[in-house]
Structure 1
Amino acid sequence: MQPVSAGIVAAITGFASSFVLVVAGLHAVGANDAQAASGLLAVCVLSGVCCIVLAAWFRMPISFAWSTPGAALLVAAAGTTHDFAAATGAFLVCGVLIVLCGLWPPLGRAITRIPRPLAGAMLAGILFPICLAPITAAVEIPWLALPVILTWLILFRFAPRWAVPAAMVVAAIGIGVTAGGGWLADASLAPRLEFVVPTFDPLVIVSLGLPLFIVTMAGQNVPGFAVMSTFGYRLPPRPPLLASGLATVAGSFFGGHAVNLAAITAAIMAGPDSHPDRSRRWIATVTSGIGFVVFGLAAGVATALISASPPILITAVAGLALLGALVTAVSSAIEEPAHRIPAIATFLVTASGVTIVSIGSAFWGLLVGGVIMLWSAFPWRRRKVIEGS
């Protein structure tokens, strides 16, 4: 039962810690409640199926999840588009690019060679406004936000794995008390997929699709491979990239944003806490996959709960969940002294939320940082003047 319990813990932790961010992100790019619930259902079921199939096939704890940095990107890109069909077109492009990384290794290597300081700074810029939300919520709605923050703080000290799920439970109780029972009466208890016909807007693809692809690869897939390697698993890159890319393509037609290798929850299932015998740890991933499918069936209720909440409270819970990711991103951005100025420029432009010619700040942040890095690294040399005799 040890790997089974580890898989259950991973499923609960993975779902409860960031499902609010997924729904908020989908709402931010134009999804209505039904479409957001469909998107959450799609990424839950597809992540779970990938976990079950690949873990059972390779007998390794190959774990999948939705793209948490990608969902944060959607929240940060609020206002870039209110046409959800165009957003799903960007999701589809992201999935196709992930598939191409699996089929054509040079593309995958090119993405992983984006300088870590710039990738980390872009992700930090995306996460920074969200991580400010707990402070704002504590001022604007203290009667709801302070119990959530206090619960997170206490459990962060004594049971950090459960800090965010417990904070979400406290938030749900507060929402239920203040909103009454009306939110549940309006919820669709039966799971339902909403088909969306993607449209392809070049500006939305540049603003959402390409940054979503980059943060998913750099913020999830690359760390996911690193976690597997850390615990001694030699994972061939093609199968998980193809599986996650195809799952992203399929999910985009129902509002799902991106599926990728898990990183944080993967450590729960691939490590010795799952089972002393490495050959038995894949059972944890299969269990986690089943758990994700089950949780996906409650997507309608989860979306209705979030819709009944003050938006700042949901963003505050997401901010608490992303503090660790922000620390990691900032550390990666400033790790190399020679690249700190390009990294901080990337961070500032991304965090500003500026939109230029309808293209969001994540793209411009990466572009500005790249230009500064190239400019500062260019080997300018003065020509030697040789005087004739």
Structure 2
Amino acid sequence: MSSTPREPGSLSRPLTAGLVTALVGFASSFTVVLAGLHAVGASAAQAASGLLALTLAFAACMFAVALATRLPVTFAWSTPGAALLASAGGLGLGWDEAVGGFVVCALLICLTGAVPALGRLLMAIPAPLAQAMLAGVLFELCLAPVHSVASVPWLAAPILLAWLVCMRWAPRWAVPAAMAVTLVVVVAHSLGSGTALPADLWPRLEFTAPRFTPAGLTGIALPLFIVTMASQNVPGVAVLSGFGYRTPWTASMLGSGAGSLAAACFGGHAINLAAISAALAAGEEAGPDRSRRWIAAVAASGFYLVLGLGATLVGAVAVAAPEGLLAAAAGLALLGTFGAAASSALSDPRTRLGALTTFLVTASGISAAGIGAPFWGLAGGLAVRMLLERPGPTALLPGPAAPHGPGRSGGRRLGSTSSGSPRPSSPR
């Protein structure tokens, strides 16, 4: 019995899509991760360890879930979560306290997969307030390019120019190009100033025993969990839904929670469903046969492992960077996310005052009673909402429901999605 031959190059497109997914996902935000880990007390070696641990964790999770489900499910580190860490630097937490917060956040992600009620409770947070909190977290980092141009113009200008040129003609590669130019600028500056990079650049993991404190819980764990779920996992479901795939919610949350837990004590803050880069593996770039796009996700996991081997190198380069330059590159990477979050938060006049309150308090960076600004921003926004606003019935986060799709889902299910929840909104 003869089988129907596959079109020539049927593997080349998923493999190429996997490579692009890994390159864009890693290059577009590794500076954000390093900046966040440094802000909460990580040394250069600990930050590099965290970057490596995260890459290993989500690559393994991506490989396992995509292979088991035959779905193009991709994972990534929590970029908004890393930005949150950068804003939490003023809390005065020790690195071991931050690691304790990472562990608690990972356990909460696991619980979200195991206990559907927890997911529904999280989705009860009004979407405008969640987006306003994210915008407030990102605000300071998004100002960094402006400060950098003012303080080190000759170093920052090439980075900004590369970003602008690519935004004009190749928007997808704008942030990776800016990151590549940043590395070149930093290395050239280090050589010119006589600063030598470490001789041993072999990647390694460094264990940190977690310390659990109330400040770590309220300043790191809870805000990190909320930002990761609302700004990464829910949009990740929406992206897959937009391409007609049913997200294996339980498996994804248990897998990413377990991966986050494994990475936490080595400096990794959190992993989650990919959102932006998910479209590269689930879309047309991965080939016309929807049932084979899972190969792109599996390929991306392998390419991520290769990129992870450079964690120590990029960590060393980051330490050698002039003050503010790494934050400037991170700010460019987050401009799109900031714009989308601010626009979503303020789009409805009925909820605008509460969202503005959340944004301003979060962006202020205040700390009271050992609790960081994101918590107080969300609390203030909720108070204004209850006292002054009368929002309509559509102002909640979309729940992790089973997305609709064509009759052929392109893969078999692993786990299930929680039932009875509204369908996710369309991807941004």
Work out whether the TM-score is over 0.5.
yes
TM-score range, shorter chain: over 0.9
**Matched residue, 1:61:** 72
Q: Any idea what the Cα deviations from partners look like across 1:263-311, whole Å, max 9, x if unmatched?
A: 0000111111211111111111111111111111111101000000023
**Matched residue, 1:210:** 222
Q: Please tell me whether residue 30 in structure 1 is matched to residue 36 in structure 2.
A: no
Matches within 5 A, 1:322-333: 322-333=334-345
Determine helix, strand or coil for the equivalent of 1:188: coil
**Matched residue, 2:279:** 267
CA contact (8 A) 1:81 1:204 kept: no
- TM-superposed CA distance for 1:320, in Å, is 0.7
Number of aligned residue pairs: give it: 379
Structure 1 residue runs without a partner (length 5+) = 380-389
After superposing on structure 2, the runs of 4+ consecutive aligned residues of structure 1 that deviate more than 4 Å are 181-184
Q: Please tell me whether residue 310 in structure 1 is matched to residue 322 in structure 2.
A: yes
CA contact (8 A) 1:130 1:318 kept: yes
**Matched residue, 1:350:** 362
- TM-superposed CA distance for 1:183, in Å, is 5.5
Aligned-pair RMSD on alpha carbons? 1.3
Determine helix, strand or coil for the equivalent of 1:65: strand
**Matched residue, 1:383:** none
Matches within 5 A, 1:1-389: 1-180=12-191, 185-186=197-198, 188-377=200-389
- TM-superposed CA distance for 1:169, in Å, is 1.5
- TM-score (norm: length of structure 1): 0.95
CA separation of 1:114/1:188 partners in 2, compared to 1, >3 Å: closer, same or farther?
farther
CA contact (8 A) 2:190 2:196 kept: no
CA contact (8 A) 2:350 2:389 kept: no
Q: Any idea what the Cα deviations from partners look like across 1:331-361, whole Å, max 9, x if unmatched?
A: 1101221100000000000000111122110
- TM-score (norm: length of structure 2): 0.87
Task: Work out the CA distance in 1 between the residues paired with 2:200 and 2:310.
Answer: 9
- TM-superposed CA distance for 1:79, in Å, is 2.2
Task: Work out the CA distance in 1 between the residues paired with 2:390 and 2:20.
Answer: 49
Task: Work out the CA distance in 1 between the residues paired with 2:93 and 2:316.
Answer: 20
The residue type equivalent to 1:9 in the other structure is V
Could you say which structure has the higher helix fraction? 1
- TM-superposed CA distance for 1:186, in Å, is 1.3
Q: Any idea what the Cα deviations from partners look like across 1:51-86, whole Å, max 9, x if unmatched?
A: 111101100001000000000000111121341110
Percent identity, please. 52
The residue type equivalent to 1:215 in the other structure is V
The residue type equivalent to 1:65 in the other structure is A
Determine helix, strand or coil for the equivalent of 1:260: strand
